[in-house]
Structure 1
Amino acid sequence: MNLSNQSLTEQDVSTTVSRKQYLFPLILITSLFFFWGLVHNIDPTLIAHLKKTFTLSNLESSLVDFSVFIAYFVMAIPAGLMMKKWGYKSGIVFGLLLFACGAFLFIPAANTHQYVYFLGALFVVASGLAFLETAANPYVTVLGPPETSSFRLNMAQSFNGIAASIAPLIGKHTILTNTDVTTEHIQQMDVATKAKFIEEASNSVKAPFIVLGIIILIVAVIFIFLKLPEIKEQKNTAKEKTIWQIFAIKHTRWAVIAQFFYVGAQICFSSFFLVYAEKAAGLDNHSSSDYLIAYGALFMIGRIVGTVFMKFVEAPRLLTLYTIIAILLTIVAIFGSGTYTIYCLLGIGFFISIMFPTIFALGVKDLGEDTKTASSLIIMSIVGGAIIPLALGYVADVTHNIQYGYSVPLICLFVVLYFAYKGYKPSVNK
């Protein structure tokens, strides 16, 4: 089956293709942002649930994030190569099929009642997400006028924010079972009672992923039979650049670095939210999940508000302001105590919301034919979501304080601040 469709140059899209012709593809691609947002934002619930179920340390529970984001590092380059040869649509369809396959793998994972199999299923899901993000992010930036690329990507990422508010609600009512059972209770259980508890807790993860897998399969079929414009960037040079030559471009290199640390910080803030709320504010997982829902809602609102602001404020300037505020709120979250620290985390969710799409759009700006390769590099940097949470888990375990662990994402935000202030500025040379 030929997955490539009618070809348009970037200039054609911005000058000769009518709004009606690329509006529907933009809407369809934007829907994908919602689906991978569901996966990423159900991770905090999974971490808290599996941490209790298998009595894991903070470091061990952070392997959930490691399994998800290491897949981006492994799959981003293959995804870029596939799309370079067969187009964006091939990457989207293949990514959706991998996504669905991983979702269905939660059935045998739950049946085995083994933590490692959950990690394997998450890796397959995330492999599909790597293909989707490698395709969808640059597709949105070039599907319209170049000067509004940041605006379009932030708008599309707003649907990721909608998922951020819905996923915790789904997790609360489907995954978080036996909320009255504490870790201390589990440790005091006899072998038979503990095995029964682990079986019930494992099975609670099945339903949401089965439903998600079915939906994603349906979406994949829709994409297979739909005709989408395949964007082919105009060639700027006679000889194609290598990955290292593209990485040597200053604003792309710094976008890769900034995205590594941003994603790591974002995952730290969200994934350990329930664990943090228990320590800093004394809330159980079920109660704190309401705040996690609010965190997701504010993340979504932040994306929407940021998208509007970018109509009036330059993206780098807005990114700088938001990052400074997020840094200040993180400092309070580390050294404070009580319910107000939870509100600091909610505020952080609002102000970090524009970072991923803004860094991405600035990093691939003016790259022409090299956009797909640069996209792969930036998507690879999402591996920060695998590495940085491990550091947080280690610091939290060593200090016996999850709040001190949040000094790790604080450092990450300073890297983003440098990119927003200086690193984003285009330069062909090192």
Structure 2
Amino acid sequence: MALPPTSSVASTGAHHAPGGSYKPALTLLASLFFMWGFITVINNTLLPHLRSVFELDYTQTTLIESVWFIAYFVASIPSAKLIERIGYQKSIVTGLVIMAAGALLMVPAARLPSYGVVLTALFIIASGITLLQVAANPYVAVIGPPETGSSRLNLVQAFNSLGTTLAPLFAGYLILGRSKGGTAEAGVTLTAAERYADAQSVILPYLIVAAVLVVLAVVIARFPLPAIGQATQRVSREERRGMSLWKHRNLVWGVPAIFIYLIAEIGVANLFINFVSQPDIAAITHEQASRYLALLWGGMMVGRFVGSFVMQKVPADKVLAFFAVGAFIVMLLATFTSGHAAMWSLIAVGLFHSIMFPTIFTLGIKGLGPLTEEGSGLLIMAIAGGALVVVQGWLADTVGLQTSFLLTAACELYILFYALWGSKPTHALPEREVIG
């Protein structure tokens, strides 16, 4: 929890927290990363389901995910202000409660069923996740030695990927597996009664999610998280005079890097099931495709565990550049091949995307010192880039679903540019850390 400026801890110079003092907190926060990854990726299964229930085209389908990511743009700055006001721990608990409320709203959304209420529920859930992201990402990045910040954030993000790996299996069984649209062959037209029955299949999984979120909120509320000192605490106006976020090249280019990366990640994940279900790719049902989606997210999990280890030995920017080149190559293969070659190429991009978000994030806040909290808020706001997945939806409708992945390939090139040049810090301030 954030300490007031007068605290003796906050005024202490930077030093390393004892190793054991923050590891229990990292363990608990890993469960937090798991849950928001799990809930976010339920959307990948939910979108083809809603496409069937509401008879949507690709543009309308991806618009649902755009609303989700617009929440990051709307809620990021208020989240940073809330953290400043009530502290990190209470903000995390508040975020979990907001997410639980949004999950419960999916029940009336399914019973009506209502496209508008679904959008509202997802916006509320995403707003809660935004608050968690603004609080937890910088907390993990600064809670230990600065030189292993990328490694540490990749480690907890690996548990985020564990959630994203299990979510398609969970939602594939409880949503697609229990619906007519999810088990039917591609191109089958459902009756109004079948679509209404399908809408009800989201009730049970979201009730389970809401219950787990409430339990996690209670646990975190009672857990003694280490206090954050000057690392991310706002300093007074006088102390900040002459300091500017815009002098830090790694942040200035890092914000669009997060924005563009999210276009790539979300575009692949949201269109994956529809893509591999096509007759010239894998010719399988949506329920079967959801199992392969789990492999894509599983690749992200493996990549983050490996990346966490590698970045203890190899500079983070070099690792990021290598992964960006790999992602570019497999996206070209997914675009210009067919059958299982295209499907496995798209699955492979999960491995190469794995370390991108946490690595860009830690490179972006490197050297911000007392400006870390504000820089983190801007980087989390950039997650709104996922809202532009609607552009890929429009491309899929106009030039074809497979051709639309050229947009993803172009995104990988910007990440490569950031790794090679944009991530190099300028006007770096002294690193500060959490004091356990």
- What SS does the corresponding residue of 2:426 show, helix, strand or coil? coil
> Residue 258 of structure 1 corresponds to which residue in structure 2?
257
Q: Does 1:371 align with 2:354?
A: no
> How much does 1:302 deviate?
0.9
> Residue 410 of structure 1 corresponds to which residue in structure 2?
409
> How much does 1:299 deviate?
1.3
> Residue 181 of structure 1 corresponds to which residue in structure 2?
184
Contact residue 248 and residue 368 of structure 2 kept, 8 A: no
Letter in 2 for 1:324: V
**Counterparts of 1:71 and 1:146 in 2: how far apart (Å)?**
30
> How much does 1:160 deviate?
0.8
Q: Does 1:350 align with 2:351?
A: yes
Q: Does 1:160 align with 2:163?
A: no
**Counterparts of 1:241 and 1:170 in 2: how far apart (Å)?**
51
Letter in 1 for 2:118: F
- What SS does the corresponding residue of 1:229 show, helix, strand or coil? coil
Change (3 A) 1:197 1:9: same
Change (3 A) 1:207 1:14: farther
> Residue 89 of structure 1 corresponds to which residue in structure 2?
89
Contact residue 391 and residue 408 of structure 1 kept, 8 A: no
> How much does 1:209 deviate?
1.0
TM-score by length of 1: 0.92
1:154-206 CA-to-partner distances (Å, cap 9, x unmatched) read 0010001101210010011001021343574426x3xxxx1x21221111011
- What SS does the corresponding residue of 2:228 show, helix, strand or coil? strand
**Counterparts of 2:426 and 2:369 in 1: how far apart (Å)?**
14
**Counterparts of 2:204 and 2:137 in 1: how far apart (Å)?**
29
**Counterparts of 1:202 and 1:62 in 2: how far apart (Å)?**
18
Q: CA RMSD in A?
A: 2.2
> How much does 1:82 deviate?
1.4
Within 5 A, what are the aligned runs for 1:2-21?
A: 8-9=9-10, 14-15=15-16, 17-21=17-21
- What SS does the corresponding residue of 2:262 show, helix, strand or coil? helix
Letter in 2 for 1:161: S
Between 1:116-125 and 1:4-13, the stretch displaced more is 4-13
1:363-417 CA-to-partner distances (Å, cap 9, x unmatched) read 0112121111111000000000111x11100011012x21111111111111111
1:210-252 CA-to-partner distances (Å, cap 9, x unmatched) read 1111111111122222222221225699432699x31442111
Within 5 A, what are the aligned runs for 1:86-235?
A: 86-176=86-176, 177-178=179-180, 179-181=182-184, 184-186=187-189, 189=191, 194=192, 196-233=193-230
**Counterparts of 1:201 and 1:119 in 2: how far apart (Å)?**
17
> Residue 433 of structure 2 corresponds to which residue in structure 1?
none
Letter in 1 for 2:311: M
TM-score by length of 2: 0.91
Change (3 A) 1:155 1:184: closer
Contact residue 141 and residue 153 of structure 1 kept, 8 A: yes
> How much does 1:110 deviate?
0.6
- What SS does the corresponding residue of 2:284 show, helix, strand or coil? coil
1:287-324 CA-to-partner distances (Å, cap 9, x unmatched) read 21221111121111111111111122111001001100
Between 1:289-298 and 1:351-360, the stretch displaced more is 289-298
1:27-74 CA-to-partner distances (Å, cap 9, x unmatched) read 112211101101121111011111112111101000221121110100
Contact residue 299 and residue 350 of structure 1 kept, 8 A: yes
Contact residue 59 and residue 394 of structure 1 kept, 8 A: yes
Between 1:146-155 and 1:233-242, the stretch displaced more is 233-242
**Counterparts of 1:326 and 1:58 in 2: how far apart (Å)?**
24
> Residue 328 of structure 2 corresponds to which residue in structure 1?
327
**Counterparts of 1:248 and 1:197 in 2: how far apart (Å)?**
57
Within 5 A, what are the aligned runs for 1:382-397?
A: 382-387=383-388, 389-397=389-397
Contact residue 91 and residue 131 of structure 2 kept, 8 A: yes
**Counterparts of 2:349 and 2:187 in 1: how far apart (Å)?**
32
Contact residue 3 and residue 10 of structure 2 kept, 8 A: no
Share of identical aligned residues, percent?
34
Between 1:290-299 and 1:102-111, the stretch displaced more is 290-299
> Residue 426 of structure 2 corresponds to which residue in structure 1?
427
**Counterparts of 2:406 and 2:260 in 1: how far apart (Å)?**
13
Letter in 2 for 1:56: L
Identify unmatched segments of 5+ residues in structure 1: none
Letter in 1 for 2:410: I
- What SS does the corresponding residue of 1:418 show, helix, strand or coil? helix
Letter in 2 for 1:334: T
Q: Does 1:310 align with 2:307?
A: no
**Counterparts of 1:8 and 1:25 in 2: how far apart (Å)?**
18
1:99-121 CA-to-partner distances (Å, cap 9, x unmatched) read 11111111111111122211110
**Counterparts of 1:413 and 1:102 in 2: how far apart (Å)?**
33
Change (3 A) 1:232 1:103: same
- What SS does the corresponding residue of 1:84 show, helix, strand or coil? helix
**Counterparts of 1:33 and 1:22 in 2: how far apart (Å)?**
16
Within 5 A, what are the aligned runs for 1:54-65?
A: 54-65=54-65
Contact residue 4 and residue 90 of structure 1 kept, 8 A: no
Change (3 A) 1:156 1:238: same
> Residue 432 of structure 2 corresponds to which residue in structure 1?
none
**Counterparts of 2:8 and 2:359 in 1: how far apart (Å)?**
27
Identify unmatched segments of 5+ residues in structure 2: 429-436
**Counterparts of 1:238 and 1:4 in 2: how far apart (Å)?**
19
Contact residue 184 and residue 285 of structure 2 kept, 8 A: no
Between 1:301-310 and 1:356-365, the stretch displaced more is 301-310
Letter in 2 for 1:270: A
Letter in 1 for 2:405: Y
Letter in 2 for 1:186: T
Letter in 1 for 2:214: L
